Amino acid sequence: MPETQTKTAAPTKPQLFSKGHGACAGCGSAVAIRSILFNLGPNIVVSLATGCMEVVSTGYPDNCWGVPVVHSLFENAPAVASGVTRALKKRGSNAIPVVIGGDGSTYDIGFGALSGAMERNEDMIYFCYDNEAYENTGIQRSGATPKYAATTTSPKEVGGKSEWKKNVSFIAASHGVPYAATASIAFLSDLKKKIEKAKAIKGFRIITLFAGCQLGWKHEPSLSIEVARKAVNTGMWNLYEIENGVFHRTVKPKQIEPVENYLKMQGRFKHLKPEQVADIQQRINANQTELDKLETSAVNLSKIL
Protein backbone atom coordinates (compact mmCIF):
# COMPACT_ATOMS: atom_id res chain seq x y z
CA MET A 1 0.00 0.00 0.00
CA PRO A 2 1.45 3.33 -0.99
CA GLU A 3 2.35 5.55 1.84
CA THR A 4 -0.22 8.31 2.17
CA GLN A 5 1.12 11.77 2.60
CA THR A 6 -0.60 13.88 5.14
CA LYS A 7 -0.21 17.57 4.49
CA THR A 8 0.37 19.51 7.64
CA ALA A 9 -0.49 23.16 7.30
CA ALA A 10 2.24 25.58 8.34
CA PRO A 11 1.37 27.17 11.69
CA THR A 12 -0.12 30.57 11.01
CA LYS A 13 -0.32 33.52 13.33
CA PRO A 14 -3.83 34.97 13.71
CA GLN A 15 -4.27 38.12 11.61
CA LEU A 16 -4.53 40.96 14.08
CA PHE A 17 -5.46 43.42 11.32
CA SER A 18 -7.84 41.29 9.32
CA LYS A 19 -9.43 41.49 5.89
CA GLY A 20 -12.68 43.36 5.47
CA HIS A 21 -11.33 46.87 5.91
CA GLY A 22 -12.14 49.51 3.34
CA ALA A 23 -8.64 50.65 2.34
CA CYS A 24 -8.00 51.20 -1.37
CA ALA A 25 -6.42 48.37 -3.36
CA GLY A 26 -2.65 48.47 -2.97
CA CYS A 27 -2.76 50.75 0.08
CA GLY A 28 0.77 50.83 1.51
CA SER A 29 -0.53 52.17 4.82
CA ALA A 30 -2.71 49.07 5.32
CA VAL A 31 0.40 46.92 4.71
CA ALA A 32 2.09 49.01 7.41
CA ILE A 33 -0.63 48.40 10.01
CA ARG A 34 -0.79 44.69 9.21
CA SER A 35 2.98 44.35 9.51
CA ILE A 36 3.15 46.34 12.74
CA LEU A 37 0.52 44.15 14.42
CA PHE A 38 1.94 40.92 12.98
CA ASN A 39 5.32 41.68 14.54
CA LEU A 40 4.02 43.08 17.83
CA GLY A 41 1.69 40.17 18.56
CA PRO A 42 -1.58 40.25 20.50
CA ASN A 43 -0.35 41.46 23.89
CA ILE A 44 -0.80 45.18 23.17
CA VAL A 45 -3.30 47.98 23.70
CA VAL A 46 -3.48 50.46 20.83
CA SER A 47 -4.28 54.15 21.03
CA LEU A 48 -5.24 54.91 17.44
CA ALA A 49 -5.23 58.47 16.14
CA THR A 50 -7.75 59.60 13.56
CA GLY A 51 -6.63 59.07 9.96
CA CYS A 52 -7.25 56.85 6.96
CA MET A 53 -6.29 53.67 8.78
CA GLU A 54 -8.75 54.35 11.57
CA VAL A 55 -11.54 55.40 9.21
CA VAL A 56 -11.24 52.33 6.94
CA SER A 57 -11.04 49.78 9.75
CA THR A 58 -13.53 50.78 12.43
CA GLY A 59 -16.82 51.57 10.66
CA TYR A 60 -19.57 50.07 12.83
CA PRO A 61 -20.51 47.17 12.77
CA ASP A 62 -17.23 46.06 11.14
CA ASN A 63 -13.95 45.95 12.99
CA CYS A 64 -10.66 44.64 11.66
CA TRP A 65 -8.70 44.77 14.90
CA GLY A 66 -7.85 41.63 16.84
CA VAL A 67 -6.40 43.65 19.73
CA PRO A 68 -7.91 46.26 22.08
CA VAL A 69 -8.02 49.67 20.39
CA VAL A 70 -8.90 53.05 21.86
CA HIS A 71 -10.01 55.45 19.17
CA SER A 72 -8.20 58.65 20.07
CA LEU A 73 -7.87 62.04 18.48
CA PHE A 74 -4.95 63.62 16.67
CA GLU A 75 -4.36 65.81 19.68
CA ASN A 76 -4.27 63.18 22.40
CA ALA A 77 -3.27 59.69 21.16
CA PRO A 78 0.02 59.60 23.15
CA ALA A 79 -1.73 61.17 26.17
CA VAL A 80 -4.39 58.44 26.04
CA ALA A 81 -1.63 55.83 25.82
CA SER A 82 0.04 57.43 28.86
CA GLY A 83 -3.18 56.76 30.77
CA VAL A 84 -3.32 53.22 29.38
CA THR A 85 0.26 52.66 30.61
CA ARG A 86 -0.75 53.55 34.16
CA ALA A 87 -3.95 51.49 34.03
CA LEU A 88 -2.03 48.43 32.80
CA LYS A 89 0.56 48.86 35.54
CA LYS A 90 -2.17 49.10 38.17
CA ARG A 91 -3.71 45.88 36.87
CA GLY A 92 -0.36 44.11 36.85
CA SER A 93 -0.61 43.58 33.08
CA ASN A 94 2.47 43.27 30.90
CA ALA A 95 0.61 44.34 27.72
CA ILE A 96 2.51 46.94 25.71
CA PRO A 97 0.87 50.35 25.20
CA VAL A 98 1.14 51.29 21.52
CA VAL A 99 0.23 54.45 19.61
CA ILE A 100 -0.48 54.38 15.89
CA GLY A 101 -0.90 57.63 14.00
CA GLY A 102 -0.46 58.99 10.49
CA ASP A 103 2.01 61.68 9.51
CA GLY A 104 -0.59 64.43 9.90
CA SER A 105 -1.09 63.30 13.45
CA THR A 106 2.59 62.74 14.21
CA TYR A 107 4.42 65.58 12.46
CA ASP A 108 1.77 68.26 12.91
CA ILE A 109 -1.57 68.18 14.73
CA GLY A 110 -0.70 65.66 17.46
CA PHE A 111 2.90 66.76 17.87
CA GLY A 112 2.26 68.52 21.21
CA ALA A 113 1.06 65.35 22.91
CA LEU A 114 3.81 63.33 21.22
CA SER A 115 6.49 65.76 22.38
CA GLY A 116 5.11 65.65 25.93
CA ALA A 117 5.13 61.83 26.00
CA MET A 118 8.70 61.80 24.67
CA GLU A 119 9.80 64.38 27.23
CA ARG A 120 8.35 62.22 30.03
CA ASN A 121 9.93 59.12 28.43
CA GLU A 122 6.59 57.29 28.66
CA ASP A 123 6.88 53.52 28.42
CA MET A 124 5.21 52.90 25.05
CA ILE A 125 5.92 52.21 21.38
CA TYR A 126 4.80 54.90 18.94
CA PHE A 127 4.30 54.07 15.26
CA CYS A 128 3.86 56.70 12.60
CA TYR A 129 2.69 55.33 9.27
CA ASP A 130 4.01 58.04 7.01
CA ASN A 131 2.11 58.41 3.74
CA GLU A 132 3.29 61.99 3.41
CA ALA A 133 -0.06 63.84 3.40
CA TYR A 134 -3.47 64.14 5.06
CA GLU A 135 -4.77 61.44 2.77
CA ASN A 136 -8.12 60.70 4.39
CA THR A 137 -9.47 64.20 3.97
CA GLY A 138 -8.33 64.66 0.38
CA ILE A 139 -4.51 64.75 0.11
CA GLN A 140 -3.65 67.99 1.92
CA ARG A 141 0.04 68.72 2.54
CA SER A 142 1.52 67.82 5.92
CA GLY A 143 4.90 68.44 7.54
CA ALA A 144 5.90 65.06 6.09
CA THR A 145 5.06 65.89 2.47
CA PRO A 146 8.24 66.12 0.41
CA LYS A 147 9.14 69.43 -1.23
CA TYR A 148 7.53 69.96 -4.66
CA ALA A 149 5.02 67.07 -4.27
CA ALA A 150 1.58 68.07 -5.55
CA THR A 151 -1.21 68.06 -2.99
CA THR A 152 -4.65 69.62 -3.06
CA THR A 153 -3.31 72.52 -0.98
CA SER A 154 -0.23 73.25 -3.12
CA PRO A 155 0.22 76.89 -4.10
CA LYS A 156 -0.49 77.18 -7.85
CA GLU A 157 2.69 79.14 -8.60
CA VAL A 158 4.89 76.37 -7.09
CA GLY A 159 2.80 73.41 -8.33
CA GLY A 160 3.80 71.47 -5.22
CA LYS A 161 4.81 71.94 -1.59
CA SER A 162 7.24 74.78 -0.90
CA GLU A 163 9.05 73.35 2.14
CA TRP A 164 11.27 70.33 2.79
CA LYS A 165 9.98 67.36 4.81
CA LYS A 166 10.58 67.42 8.57
CA ASN A 167 12.69 64.68 10.15
CA VAL A 168 10.66 63.34 13.04
CA SER A 169 13.23 60.70 14.07
CA PHE A 170 15.88 63.33 14.75
CA ILE A 171 13.31 65.48 16.54
CA ALA A 172 12.56 62.44 18.71
CA ALA A 173 16.26 61.80 19.34
CA SER A 174 16.68 65.37 20.59
CA HIS A 175 14.05 64.58 23.24
CA GLY A 176 16.48 61.95 24.58
CA VAL A 177 14.22 58.95 23.90
CA PRO A 178 15.99 55.57 24.02
CA TYR A 179 14.93 54.43 20.55
CA ALA A 180 13.94 56.23 17.34
CA ALA A 181 14.00 54.42 14.01
CA THR A 182 12.79 54.67 10.46
CA ALA A 183 11.39 51.72 8.51
CA SER A 184 9.74 50.89 5.19
CA ILE A 185 7.01 48.57 3.97
CA ALA A 186 9.47 47.37 1.30
CA PHE A 187 11.99 46.18 3.93
CA LEU A 188 9.93 43.99 6.23
CA SER A 189 12.80 42.02 7.79
CA ASP A 190 14.38 45.36 8.80
CA LEU A 191 11.03 46.40 10.31
CA LYS A 192 10.73 43.08 12.15
CA LYS A 193 14.18 43.52 13.76
CA LYS A 194 13.34 47.06 14.79
CA ILE A 195 10.03 46.05 16.36
CA GLU A 196 11.74 43.21 18.23
CA LYS A 197 14.36 45.63 19.49
CA ALA A 198 11.74 48.21 20.47
CA LYS A 199 9.76 45.57 22.39
CA ALA A 200 12.82 44.77 24.51
CA ILE A 201 13.52 48.40 25.46
CA LYS A 202 11.82 50.38 28.26
CA GLY A 203 10.76 53.99 27.80
CA PHE A 204 9.60 55.80 24.69
CA ARG A 205 10.30 54.07 21.38
CA ILE A 206 9.24 55.53 18.05
CA ILE A 207 9.29 53.91 14.61
CA THR A 208 8.40 56.00 11.55
CA LEU A 209 7.29 53.66 8.82
CA PHE A 210 7.34 54.84 5.20
CA ALA A 211 4.05 53.57 3.82
CA GLY A 212 2.50 54.97 0.69
CA CYS A 213 -0.91 56.01 -0.50
CA GLN A 214 -1.41 55.12 -4.15
CA LEU A 215 -4.37 57.50 -4.40
CA GLY A 216 -2.46 60.53 -3.18
CA TRP A 217 0.87 59.61 -4.77
CA LYS A 218 -0.82 58.76 -8.05
CA HIS A 219 0.64 55.46 -9.15
CA GLU A 220 -0.72 52.04 -10.03
CA PRO A 221 -1.92 50.15 -6.92
CA SER A 222 0.34 47.23 -7.86
CA LEU A 223 3.45 49.44 -7.55
CA SER A 224 3.20 50.37 -3.85
CA ILE A 225 6.05 48.16 -2.65
CA GLU A 226 8.21 49.00 -5.69
CA VAL A 227 7.76 52.73 -5.03
CA ALA A 228 8.68 52.26 -1.36
CA ARG A 229 11.79 50.26 -2.34
CA LYS A 230 12.81 52.95 -4.84
CA ALA A 231 12.53 55.61 -2.13
CA VAL A 232 15.26 53.83 -0.17
CA ASN A 233 17.36 53.03 -3.24
CA THR A 234 17.41 56.70 -4.28
CA GLY A 235 18.00 58.05 -0.75
CA MET A 236 14.61 59.79 -0.58
CA TRP A 237 13.96 57.69 2.53
CA ASN A 238 16.77 56.34 4.71
CA LEU A 239 16.66 53.32 6.99
CA TYR A 240 18.37 53.79 10.33
CA GLU A 241 17.96 53.70 14.06
CA ILE A 242 19.03 56.10 16.78
CA GLU A 243 19.63 54.09 19.91
CA ASN A 244 20.29 56.11 23.06
CA GLY A 245 21.28 58.99 20.81
CA VAL A 246 23.67 56.97 18.64
CA PHE A 247 22.90 56.90 14.92
CA HIS A 248 23.28 53.73 12.87
CA ARG A 249 22.19 52.93 9.31
CA THR A 250 20.47 49.55 9.08
CA VAL A 251 20.14 49.38 5.28
CA LYS A 252 22.33 51.30 2.90
CA PRO A 253 22.07 50.78 -0.86
CA LYS A 254 25.50 50.05 -2.39
CA GLN A 255 24.85 52.67 -5.03
CA ILE A 256 22.34 55.50 -4.57
CA GLU A 257 20.22 55.69 -7.76
CA PRO A 258 19.27 59.04 -9.34
CA VAL A 259 16.16 60.40 -7.61
CA GLU A 260 14.46 60.81 -10.96
CA ASN A 261 13.89 57.02 -10.96
CA TYR A 262 11.69 57.50 -7.89
CA LEU A 263 9.98 60.72 -8.94
CA LYS A 264 8.91 59.50 -12.36
CA MET A 265 6.96 56.61 -10.85
CA GLN A 266 4.42 59.00 -9.29
CA GLY A 267 1.93 61.49 -10.65
CA ARG A 268 2.42 63.80 -7.66
CA PHE A 269 5.84 64.73 -9.09
CA LYS A 270 4.95 64.78 -12.77
CA HIS A 271 4.93 68.61 -13.03
CA LEU A 272 8.53 68.93 -11.79
CA LYS A 273 10.93 71.05 -13.82
CA PRO A 274 14.55 69.86 -14.31
CA GLU A 275 15.82 72.46 -11.82
CA GLN A 276 13.42 71.17 -9.16
CA VAL A 277 14.60 67.60 -9.71
CA ALA A 278 18.18 68.88 -9.45
CA ASP A 279 17.33 70.68 -6.21
CA ILE A 280 16.00 67.44 -4.69
CA GLN A 281 19.06 65.52 -5.94
CA GLN A 282 21.40 68.06 -4.39
CA ARG A 283 19.56 67.84 -1.09
CA ILE A 284 19.78 64.03 -1.12
CA ASN A 285 23.51 64.10 -1.91
CA ALA A 286 24.18 66.50 0.97
CA ASN A 287 21.99 64.42 3.28
CA GLN A 288 23.84 61.20 2.42
CA THR A 289 27.16 62.87 3.19
CA GLU A 290 25.91 64.08 6.57
CA LEU A 291 24.41 60.67 7.46
CA ASP A 292 27.68 58.96 6.54
CA LYS A 293 29.56 61.39 8.78
CA LEU A 294 27.17 60.64 11.63
CA GLU A 295 27.56 56.89 11.13
CA THR A 296 31.31 57.05 11.59
CA SER A 297 31.37 59.65 14.36
CA ALA A 298 30.85 59.24 18.08
CA VAL A 299 28.20 62.00 18.20
CA ASN A 300 25.44 61.31 20.70
CA LEU A 301 22.37 63.19 19.49
CA SER A 302 20.58 62.98 22.80
CA LYS A 303 23.48 64.70 24.61
CA ILE A 304 23.24 67.85 22.48
CA LEU A 305 21.45 70.41 24.63
Q: For binding to ligand SF4 (CB under 6 A), which residues are involved? A: 23-24, 27, 29, 52, 56, 131, 135-136, 213-216
Q: Find the largest Cα–Cα distance for the chain.
A: 80
242 half-sphere exposure, CB direction, 13 A CA radius = 27
**d(C-alpha 146, C-alpha 165), whole Å:** 5
Q: How near is the Cβ of 52 to Mg ion at its closest, in Å?
A: 7
Q: Which does 215 bind (CB under 5 to 8 A by kind): Mg ion, ligand SF4, ligand TPP, none?
A: ligand SF4
Q: Which of 35, 47, 50, 233 binds ligand TPP (CB under 6 A)?
A: 50
Residue 103 vs 122, nearer CB to ligand SF4: 103
Residue type, 36: I
The torsion angle over the Cα atoms of residues 235, 111, 218 and 281, rounded to 10 degrees, is: -30
Q: How near is the Cβ of 260 to ligand TPP at its closest, in Å?
A: 26
Task: Give me the sheet containing 204-210, strands edge to edge.
Answer: 69-71, 44-48, 96-102, 124-130, 204-210, 179-184, 239-243, 246-251
Q: How near is the Cβ of 288 to ligand TPP at its closest, in Å?
A: 26
Give the helix, strand, coil percentages of the chain, each rounded to 5.
Answer: 40, 15, 45
Using Cβ positions, the residue closest to ligand TPP within the complex turns out to be 102
Angle between helices 28-40 and 224-233 (to 10 degrees): 80
The contact mask relative to ligand TPP for 94-133 (x = CB under 6 A, - = no) is: --------xxxx---x---------------------x-x
Residue 235 in contact with ligand TPP, rule: CB under 6 A: no
Residue 139 vs 284, nearer CB to ligand SF4: 139
Angle at 206 between CA 120 and CA 97, to 5 degrees: 70
Q: Which does 214 bind (CB under 5 to 8 A by kind): ligand SF4, ligand TPP, Mg ion, none?
A: ligand SF4
Catalog residues that contact ligand TPP under the rule CB under 6 A.
29, 50-53, 74-75, 102-105, 109, 131, 133-137, 142
